[in-house]
Each structure stands twice: as structure tokens, then as C-alpha cells.
Structure 1
Amino acid sequence: MGENMRRDSGPPWGCDPVVPELHDSCAGYDSITGRSDSTALMNKTVTLKSSSSELDFDRPNIEDYLPSGSTIQQEPHGKLFLHDLLNISPTLSEAAGAIVDDSFTRCFKSNPPEPWNWNVYLFPLWCFGVVIRYLILFPIRVLGLTIGWIIFLSSFIPVHFLLKGQDKLRRSIERSLVEMMCSFFVASWTGVVKYHGPRPSRRPKQMTAFAVIMQKHPGWVGLLQSTILESLGCIWFNRTEAKDREIVARKLRDHVQGADNNPLLIFPEGTCVNNHYTVMFKKGAFELDSTVCPVAIKYNKIFVDAFWNSRKQSFTMHLLQLMTSWAVVCDVWYLEPQNLKPGETPIEFAERVRDIISVRAGLKKVPWDGYLKYSRPSPKHRERKQQDFADSVLRRLKEK
């Protein structure tokens, strides 16, 4: 994580000329007798031996902190002081390295664009662009999205309730309507999406709609999940519930066995990452004994950062941010389908797919579990660190 801090063998504070009475070995001055010769220094040493705890306020004897009856073997040329024992430079070095090179937190941070408009000739153009985006483009996009919702709801509600007995026809129409509504959303951002490679297809006349596995959200997003997106066979879960993980695993197996079900669109990281890194993939999707079609997505942040930082921004505000930008630009690569190789474990399969996606999209792999974003450090981990520090103190005791 970082280079260890240098540890000197002498006192950490050195010989400060402002405080000569604390460093007689350097200044050669006896603050008690007022003599500065070698005899005075020897007398000072004798005095320190008789009452070290009274005079060495900055350097207390470690024997004062040991249980009664315990003794320490002292070297002939010095004593073991508390500051020598509690040398925490390795611990501080590790903590500083974790702060400087925090490869986990940076995976979930938004990256604001570099300021470019603070000069005389670009600032007026930027202000003109703000007027166009907020007063012209944004109202047009809101109007288009509203028209899309009107068309969608006026068609989806009758189909959903009137075609209850004809499930196959109803699901087909609902899929088409959801796909149309998604197109309205992308249009409201002026989405510019460039596709590379053939789209995976399992059978003739394959529907392009996908069933999605995602976190259950509150508010109006949760309402859409439980009503409209339910028609696609989407699977919801709660990260904090262990029971939900078992339910999701069972639903995954049931979904892939159905011939008429939509293909599953899975984000195996389990959380939103800022499109610079790839965290560890969950192995559940790779235990289904099914063909995996990797899809790599890379956003061009020239106009807006499409990453949703759910800890700092609601989905509504994120949607407004996209709708008030010039455009959302991204590339999508459909990669070669992959299958589990003989003798390969699901974890190795997941890592192999992660390598393929990372290379294609130019993302950096990091050895982190994305679920750590939603959890606090384990008390066992903290206790283990404390025990390591205690062991280092005991080793110093034995060395001295």
C-alpha cells in the first residue's frame, strides 16, 4: 500500500536546543548541579537511576507499566523506555498508505470534469450553452418523456388487465411497450449509443427486451419495479437480507430453465461502479451451467458522467442531471459467448469473463467485493489488527 516510514534507532525528537535540560547527553549540561563537565554528567546519571520516574517525564520507565513481580532484562548500555516500545511507525505507515492509495473508495466516486470555461472568451459561450440546455432542450425532453408515458400507460394498463387469460400474447405486447418506453428514456437524454458486434440471440424472433436482476428501490422507482418491470420477469433483491440471496439464487435457476423467458441481463458486480474499475464478480450467475454472453459498456464523459452515486444523489436528481446535459454517449460491445470449461470452477469462470470485459472496455481490475460498499468493517478485522499490534509490542519486550 505504501512504503514503510523510516525508524531511527535514537530518540524520535532529537536534540532540541530550545529545551537543553531534557537532553543532557547532547548538550552536556546538568540542570540540577549547574555543572557542565563529565563529572556532573556522571552524577546526573546516578541521580536518574535513583529516581527515574520523577525526572524523565518524557521517557517513563516501562517497568512502571508492567504487573507487579515482572522484571525486564536490561542491556548494559541502556534501559527500555516506553517510547522505544510503542513504536507505531509501521501501523501509521499502513494507515497512511491506505488513505493515499485507496483503491476501494475510488471505484465508487464520481469524477467531476476538469474546469475549462473560466476565461474571458469561453465563459460567455458556456453561459449560452446553459441557457440552451435548461431553457430549450430540457423542456423539449420533458415534453417528449411525458408523451411517452401517456402512450405507454394508455396501452399498458388495458393490456395488463384485459388479456389476463392470454398470458403469451399479453407478455409479448407488454415487452414491446416496455421496450418503447425505454427508447423514450434514452431519447430524453439524447443518448448516442454505438453497438459493436452481433447481438446475442438464442432462437428465431428473439425479443430484445431483457429481464434484469436489481436492487429493490423505494419511491416511484420501486413502484415501477413492482408493476411495469414485473412483466419482463425481473428479479428483485435486498442486499442486506441473507434470505433474499437464497431466493434470488432459486429464481435464477428457475428463470434460465424456462424456454419462453427473456434473457437475463445481470450486472455481476452487484453494485454501481464508476466505469473506471471492475470489482469482483459474484459467482451466482456463473453457477447456472448456462451460456454467458459478456457485454462491455464504456461511457464517454465528454458531456456528462452517467455514473449514479446512490449515496450522494437520488435517482430523480440523477435523471435530471442526464436530461439537462448535452448528450449521453457510450459504446456497447457484444462479446463472444462463454461457457464453463471442464475442470473450471465458477469463481475462475467469473474471473475469466471479468478479464474479457475489462480488456475490451479499458477498465482496471481491482480485488474488491462491491458489497463492502454497503457494510462496515467487521469487529473481528479490527480485533485482529489490535492483536497484531500487541504481538509487536511483546516481541519488543522479548528483544530487550
Structure 2
Amino acid sequence: MFWAALLDFFCIPFIVFISFMIILSAVNKSVGVRRAYVKLLLKIFEFGRLSIESAAKERQKLVGDAIFNNSQDRKLDEINLTFRKKTGRTIPTTNGNTLISRDSVLLPTSNEPAASDIESSPKDEEMRFNLEKCLDYIKAGVESIIEDEVTSRFEAEELKSWNLLTRTNRHYEFISWKITLIWMTGFAVRYFILMPLRVFVCFIGVVWLTVCTAIVGYIKDGEYKRRMVDQVLGHCFSVLSSAISAVIYYHNVENRPTNGICVANHTSPIDVLVLMCDKTYSLIGQRHGGFLGLLQRALARASPHIWFERGEARDRHAVAERLKQHVSNPNNPPILIFPEGTCINNTSVMQFKKGSFEVGGVIYPVAIKYDPRFGDAFWNSSKYSMMQYLYMMMTSWAIVCDVWYLPPMYRQEGESAIDFANRVKSVIAKQGGLVDLVWDGQLKRMKPKKEWRELQQVEFAKRLKGD
């Protein structure tokens, strides 16, 4: 009886809370709980930052004092040794403190001429080898060995301050009893309260999405079905966003895409969820199995999407043709494309593939920037599976991001598709505060192309020849 009563005590409020949340999502309303939660986290992070800085200063002071004392001891030993060699006596001490006079210290003097006093002869100048022409390459090579600007984009973003997650840093949780208490409380909240709740909400959201899209799929094509799809997908993705405690800020909504092609920088599969919470899009991509495949099949029942098999996706002409057919129909929603072709770690934008910029028509750029303090949204697909990634998302504090809708852009007369893609990429990088890189994101999975290496070799040879 006791356990049954205890179970009822916890289950009834839990079910009421979930039902209330789903109703709010269905009517696209928010009571501001997540935003208040994020503000509370910011205050906790600030307290943690100040505590860490204070502990670091105290430690630095202690280490500095120890170094200073050791240095003074070494100097006194050297002075005592010199004095004993010169006079045969030791320096007198009083009450344990050494007393010395600066006049008794004889500093060594060198009779060797200084290097600056030696004049170089013309003959030496002729024989000296000049490395000036290849120093830039040596510097670039050393920098690349230490850390190049490409592979670092496929690792988790480095935080400026600790966010109380041991996956980002394991050096600070025991610096003081207050930080330890906060960290242990946060661990309990994330793993024993938030995670079970988020898993349950995710399950409800996927089931709800599957059922709703199946029902909408039976409605006859037309204006009414499009309105129903917008409403259904909007509140289904709103429920799914609750599974990761997503807080999304949309800017410049007057530039929200209406048709054509929408391109955005790519950090995570969550990018789709972030954008679909505000606007319905058609998607293009490779067919997947598992959890992603389930979502793809559900979405395909309600609205037009373009899914390719692995072998078919390599046929650029087939992809371009299906893309043109979709864009040419004004009744289709805008199609969402991530031209980078892979996930980048929220710090930069890498090379845009030119395919989506050859179709013609309007391009709607969108910049997405996640706040890494609350959770790392980057998906390193070569290191983590989709289920591992979802586990990390659901055990993070939250997913907070900004979305900027940028003015529509058109391909200019005489402009190549590559130049147009680079122009759009530059605009997205500038708005999102991201680094604009020319490298192909597929370097995460393949070696640099042979022609790239040969181009660098030719340039190096020209410099050595003095061309």
C-alpha cells in the first residue's frame, strides 16, 4: 500500500505536467519556464566562474610565493658560496636571518667582446644562407603540426569557462565545497530528473508525430492540407524540442523563407528541429535507418521531401533535376539544404557545395549559432552514434541557440555557382559570428586531394626561385 500510494503521489503530477506541456505545444504557447531555467543556469555559471578564478588566483599566489622563496634560497646559497671562496668565512646570521652587504658581493665580469661589438665582414654576408623566402611555409607547417584550422573544426568547441559538465572539463569539480555541492546537485538533476523526463517526452513526441502525419497524409492535396501540415508539424516539433529543453531565439522573422531554397550552416541534426519549430520545410538528404529513418518516413507521409539512396545521391544530375522540380512548384514549401554536407563544430562555416546554387531562383540564407555553455550541439558522427548523441543532448543542461533569417539573395549576371555559394557563405558566417573557411568539410572523412598538394608544391617552388 505504501509503495502504491508513493507511486500515485509522483505519477499523477507527472502525467498532469506532461499533458499540460503537450497542450501548450499544440496551441504554440509558452509560459517561459525554459527561459527562466536558462537565466538561473547563467547565474550559477557566473558563480562558478568567479569561484574558479578566485581559486586560480589563490593557487597562483601560493605557487608564486614558493617559487620566490626557493629562488631567494638559491641566491643566498650562491652568495654564501662566493663569499666563502673569497674570504674563507661564512656570512654572519642574526636570529636565523642572513645579513649581507651588497659591497661584499663580487659580480663576475667577462672579458669576452659582446656579440653586438663584432662587425660582420662582406664575405660573411655573402656566405650566409637566407631563409626569408621560405619562413612563411616553415611557420605554416609548424602551426599545422601543432593545430591546423581544419581538423580542429571537427572536435567539440572549447569553452572559455566551465559549464559544470565533466565532459567538457574534469579539473574544477573539487576546487571548493560549494562548487562540489553544485556539481553533485546538477548531476542528480540532469540524470535522475531531467533525463527520464526528456526521454519520456521524446517518446511521446515521436509517437505523436507518427500518428499525426499518418492522419494528415490521408487528406487530399490542396490549401487545406498545407495549412494542416503547418499546424501539425509546428506543434509536433515543439513537443520534440521540449525533449532537449530547447530555447530558440528567432531574429529578422520578416525574412522567413516562403518558397525556393533555404540554406543554412550545419552543426547538428537538431538544426532541422530548430528551424521546423518556426516554419515548415521540405527536406533533402540520404535515406537513413533507425531513429532518423523513422522520422523520415513519418515526415514523407504529410509533405513532399526528397530522399535518396546512398548510390543515387552520388548522381549530381539526378539530385539537381529533382531539386528543380520541387522548386518549380509554388505550392511546395521551401526546401531546406545544408550545403556543407557535414556537421561543423559551431565555430566556423566550411565550403558550400555548388549544386544547390546552380538550380536558379531565390536563395534564403539562415545563420544558426548555438550557445555552447549549456550543451555542445555538435554531432561528431565519426565518433558517436545517433543514440549516443541523443543521450548527450538529453543529459546536457539545455540547447540554446539563435537563428537569423537573412534577406533573400539572387545569383548575379555572369556570376558562377561557386562564387554565388561563397558569397552566401560569407553572409552567413558574418551574421553568425563564425569563421569563414574555404576548406571542404569532407576532409573529416577523406585525405586532401592530390591537386591541392601539387598546387602548394608549385607555389613553394616559385618562392624558392624568386619568381
TM-score range relative to shorter protein: 0.5 to 0.7
Q: CA RMSD in A?
A: 3.3
1:302-337 residue CA offsets vs partner (Å, 9 max, x unmatched): 110101110111111111211122211100011111
Paired with 2:425 and 2:213, the residues of 1 have a C-alpha distance of 37
Does 2:274 correspond to 1:209? no
Residue 364 of structure 1: how far off its partner (Å): 0.6
* Residue matched to 1:313: 384
Matches within 5 A, 1:248-397: 248-378=319-449
Paired with 1:311 and 1:296, the residues of 2 have a C-alpha distance of 24
Residue 212 of structure 1: how far off its partner (Å): 1.7
Residue 351 of structure 1: how far off its partner (Å): 1.2
Paired with 1:105 and 1:238, the residues of 2 have a C-alpha distance of 28
Instruction: Indicate if the aligned counterparts of 2:320 and 2:359 stay in contact, CA closer than 8 A.
Output: no
Q: 2:175 aligns with which of 98, 108, 119?
A: 119
Q: Give the 3 Å change call, closer, same or farther, for CA 91–297 of structure 1 in structure 2.
A: closer
* Residue matched to 2:156: 110
Greater Cα shift, 233-242 or 118-127: 233-242
Paired with 2:310 and 2:151, the residues of 1 have a C-alpha distance of 19
Instruction: Indicate if the aligned counterparts of 1:213 and 1:267 stay in contact, CA closer than 8 A.
Output: no
1:217-242 residue CA offsets vs partner (Å, 9 max, x unmatched): 33231233244346432223467767
Residue 369 of structure 1: how far off its partner (Å): 1.2
Say which structure is richer in helix. 2
State the SS of the aligned residue for 1:305.
coil
Paired with 1:250 and 1:183, the residues of 2 have a C-alpha distance of 33
Q: Give the 3 Å change call, closer, same or farther, for CA 232–295 of structure 1 in structure 2.
A: same
The one-letter code matched in structure 1 to 2:386 is F
Paired with 1:213 and 1:193, the residues of 2 have a C-alpha distance of 23
Paired with 2:157 and 2:311, the residues of 1 have a C-alpha distance of 27
Q: Give the 3 Å change call, closer, same or farther, for CA 380–343 of structure 1 in structure 2.
A: closer
* Residue matched to 1:188: 243
**TM-score of the aligned structures, taking structure 2 as reference length:** 0.57
Paired with 1:311 and 1:341, the residues of 2 have a C-alpha distance of 38
Residue 358 of structure 1: how far off its partner (Å): 0.8
State the SS of the aligned residue for 1:293.
strand
Any stretches of 5+ residues in structure 2 without a counterpart?
Answer: 1-134, 163-168, 260-277
Greater Cα shift, 185-194 or 110-119: 110-119
1:88-110 residue CA offsets vs partner (Å, 9 max, x unmatched): x9999875443224111112111
* Residue matched to 1:64: none
Number of residue-to-residue matches in the alignment: 299
The one-letter code matched in structure 1 to 2:391 is L
**TM-score of the aligned structures, taking structure 1 as reference length:** 0.65
Instruction: Indicate if the aligned counterparts of 1:236 and 1:248 stay in contact, CA closer than 8 A.
Output: no
Calculate percent identity across the aligned residue pairs.
37
State the SS of the aligned residue for 1:350.
helix
* Residue matched to 2:252: 197
Instruction: Indicate if the aligned counterparts of 2:346 and 2:369 stay in contact, CA closer than 8 A.
Output: yes
Residue 381 of structure 1: how far off its partner (Å): 6.9
State the SS of the aligned residue for 2:249.
strand
The one-letter code matched in structure 2 to 1:286 is F
